[in-house]
Amino acid sequence: MFPHILDIVANMTGCVVSYNPPSCTNTCPDLKYRLITGACNNRKHPSWGASNTVLSRWLPSQYEDGISEPKGWNMDFLYNNFSLPPVREVTNKIIHTSNKAVQDDSSYSHIIIEWGQYIDHDLAFTPQSINKVKSMWGSDCHCTNEKQKSCFPIKVSSFALQFTGCIPFYRSLAACDTGDQSAMFGIPSVTSSREQINVLTAFIDASTVYGSTEAIENKLRNHSSEEGLLRVNIQHSDLGQEYMPFVDDTPSPCIQDPNATNDERIECFFAGETRSNEVVTLAAMHTLWFREHNRVAKVLKKLNPHWSSETTYQETRKIVGALHQVITIRDYIPKILGPSAFRKYIGTYQGYNENLNPSISNIFSTAAFRFGHATIPPTVHRLDSQYREHPQYPSLLLSEVFFRPWRIIKEGGLDPLIRGLLGKPAKLQTQQEIMNEELTEKLLVLSNNGSMDLASLNLQRGRDHGLPGYNDWREFCGLPRLNSTLDMKKAISEESITRKMIELYGHPDNIDVWLGGLVEDLLPGGRTGPLFACLIGMQIRALRDGDWFWYENTNVFTEKQKLELERHSLSRVICDNTGLTHVPSDSFLMATFPEGFESCDIVPSMNLEAWKENPEQGASCGLPKKIENGDFAYCSETLSIYFCYPGFRLEGHEKLACQGNQWNTQPPFCKDIDECLDHQTPPCHTSASCRNTLGSYQCLCTDPYGLAEDKRTYSGRLPRASIASIILVALLFLSWAVMCWILVCRG
């Protein structure tokens, strides 16, 4: 087939083309600022941790056919002589609990949950096969007797009240060179098993704020600003504080205020990560850090008026990413793992390890880090300035705050929500009350018109990704396998849970890893059991030690700057970017107002003076000349390095050295790159034509395709006539093959 036909096939079969990293350079700017895609962090392995790369496997996948079919795909497939239980049955009999039965966590506040979700969205996102199959075959992944490659509906018992028939489930998209997605088109199946893609950078780098692709980053930035700012919402503000902008594509799918008129729409917020509108508390966290970027950037520009907008933006992005690392590794993870497991699996920083792959593992993303779903309370509280229930904006059930950004803009802004996160507890994860009904019965997902069940989705996702079972992962972590009910009591003290699991699964080896890890006895001082502590700890250490730009690594920040970063905290970010005047010293610890709170006037803050440069660093040479469409960075007191902005190529000498009282050569200039001439890695899809623009390019659509969101590939949403033509060609080809087979056989 022709290349563009293969691309069509790949798109229609529901797969993702893996990312090819660019060639890596070792210039001063490249070593100073991480690429937005995460590529070239490791010069020997440039794709490690980059966006649009395959989730790593710590154990081989387990599919029923060895290639692609998930566990539970075939009803007659037995595991240790038992069939796997439907995941919804597992939810009903083990996981589900009523809203009234949940217990409060006396140690930790609600905001610790929100930070976990927020950081999870900084690390991984696996796209699903929504719309693609539907647009071609008309399938919506609801109940069907047909085996759709992209669908794996969750079966529901006939006596269930909330759901009937089944819950729709879209399988995660596969990498195009894995699994059997091409077999339906007559292309020989590849031998590698199905793998899933992480479209985000793996690193703790605040991609929630800045995105993981150049296209998203470019849309988030305010290019008219000299201060390196992010775009703000021009329609609404929060008592003088800024909101994130709305998405460009309107009307957006976010739910509207039922009492508003049609011309009073509140669209979805636009952030660096697409799930920012899932729940209003998550949108509030995104807004905090969006505001923190603009706050820091303005201060840095005042301290360094000679900085360009690009330098100010990159330095601010570097600081904000480092703060995400500080808060996560110092304040969050030790509370989750407990002190003993933290020392065992993470320990103190020993420096960068170029042999450690920081890519997100499938087991971490699909199971271990989803432990937090069992700690979510059913209610989102909104509190007044005295941390009492807000008289104007009452507390809401979770089902009332999914995808409703209007509740932030029209109901008090960020302050009541942030007070609720600080002043109310997280849910305590117990073996008898695992997940509340707001999540098991009323979860809202925009791709589906009805309610969903988060617990069942998690279990089904693990099977979809071919994750090995609970005991295999215990063995991987050096923990003893649990081969009997008696063994299980050593890890899970609640006897009723072990009995129910054996009744459902038949054998301990059959237990889904997410369920098994979730119900283990919590470690002392932690909020996970031994298995998840191991898996989370291993991943976080890889993210720290395998990241060249980790804030503690030599030459990433000065010693003075590192000390200032470590003075900062989430409480300080809240003080600086909301109207709150009193916060706990540690936002994650549960405190009672006013005794456990302190004034923002005394909450420690980093001093950005540590980033102030001397504009006369070049001794007697003076300030290097600025260049159009580029900038320079000091690499030493007497050496400056020039670089060009994306879309331009440096012409002339990159390095200027101060010799005596003058620079040794003339500054270079930046020449526009004609990306359309790159035939080896063309910027546009083969179905589109390329037109060069200053500093960029434009992909122009050619019939019958439409451009996707990245503005360089086709969307795959072909007109009906095009689909009919492709199907007709396929049928003709099939008919020809059948006729040839008959003739050959008869001959």
Provide the total of helices (H) and of strands (E) in the chain, helices listed first.
Answer: 24, 26
Task: Write the pLDDT tens digit of every residue in 154-188.
Answer: 988 755 546 667 888 999 999 888 887 545 444 45
CB atoms within 10 A of CB 215: 14
Give the pLDDT score at 703.
Answer: 55
Whole-model pTM? 0.87
**Residue partners of 70: CB distance under 8 A and separation at least 6:** 63, 64, 152, 171, 460, 463, 464, 465, 466
Task: Write the pLDDT tens digit of every residue in 310-356.
Answer: 889 999 999 999 999 999 999 999 999 999 999 999 999 999 999 99
CA atoms lying within 13 Å on the CB side of residue 38:
33
Give the pLDDT score at 595.
Answer: 93
Candidates 126, 298, 96; CA nearest to 200 is 126
Helix-strand-coil percent breakdown of the chain, rounded to 5?
35, 15, 50
Catalytic residues: 121
Cβ pair 40, 24 in contact under 8 A? yes
Give the pLDDT score at 657.
Answer: 87
Q: How far is CA 319 from CA 67, 114, 245, 386, 610, in A?
A: 43, 21, 22, 32, 12
Candidates 376, 314, 337, 339; CA nearest to 28 is 314
DSSP string, 442-497: -EE-TTSSSEE-HHHHHHHHHHHTT---HHHHHHHTTPPP--SHHHHHHH---HHH
Report the phi/psi class of residue 664: left, alpha or beta, with left for phi > 0 and alpha for psi in -120 to 50: alpha
Q: Angle formed by the axes of helices 414-423 and 111-123, to 10°?
A: 110
In whole angstroms, give the CA distance from residue 632 to residue 642.
4
- Retrieve residue 314's tokens: 């990159």
DSSP string, 288-356: HHHHHHHHHHHHHHHH-TTS-HHHHHHHHHHHHHHHHHHIIIIIIHHHHH-HHHHHHHT-S-----TTS
Q: Could you state, in order of their start, the residue ranges of all structural domains in the chain?
A: 614-672, 717-747
Give the residues of the chain that fall short of pLDDT 50: 1-10, 131-138, 145, 161, 182, 184-187, 189, 618, 709-710, 712-721, 747
CB atoms within 10 A of CB 375: 22
Task: Write the pLDDT tens digit of every residue in 286-298.
Answer: 999 999 999 999 9
Fold of 614-672: Complement Module; domain 1 (2.10.70)
Which runs of consecutive H residues, i.e. helices, occur in 568-638? 570-577
DSSP string, 41-67: SSSSSTTTT-SSEEPB-SS----TTSS
In whole angstroms, give the CA distance from residue 123 to residue 349.
20
